[in-house]
A = this chain, B = another copy of it.
Amino acid sequence: MNKHTPTTTLLWSKTAHFSVQIYYEDTDFSGVVYHPNFLKYFERAREHVIGANILQQLWADQGLCFAVYKTDMICHEGVEFADIIDVRTQFCFESKYRTIWKQEIWRPNATKAAVTAHIEMVCMNNKRQLTAMPAELIALLNQTMPS
């Protein structure tokens, strides 16, 4: 899907699509989106794949959350005010502790991605210790995998 993809035989999920409209708050005085905001859009898209309610329950009931360990991002093209972008997301399980995410931002009518990213997330408890993802969560997320 993009240049950051590791050459492994990991099983990748289907591609999820998530729309984000670019508002004043997203831009800076150079006229395009301020680059750290792309990481926000990627996070929003991941929250939709996992489910915000599930993330909330994991935290409230088990003190678990996902922390970003690694983000590699390439910004190929500026994204502009009023654009409605398509955030494309695929993920895989690298282990029971870690998920890997391939995410891209596509501008309207684009023939290639404006931004591509490779992001690694780890499951942690509320003492910031690496923790295995609960089996039910893995089962739930596995439903988005191609059979």
Residues of A within 8 A of B (CB): 21-25, 27-32, 34-37, 39-40, 43-44, 47, 52-53, 55-56, 59, 65, 67-75, 77-78, 80-82, 126, 128
Contacts and interface: CB of A to CB of B under 8 A. Distances in A.
Given A24-B34, A36-B39, A52-B23, A128 B74 contact: no
B32 A40 contact: no
5 contacts: A29-B31, A30-B126, A35-B71, A52-B81, A71-B71
A67 B71 contact: no
* Chain A interface main SS type: mixed
Contact of A67 (B43, B55, B68, B75): B75
Nearest to A70: B74
A69 B9 CA distance: 29
Contacts of A40: 23, 25, 36
Given A72-B72, A75-B70, A82-B55, A24 B39 contact: no
Contact of A30 (B21, B65, B74): B65
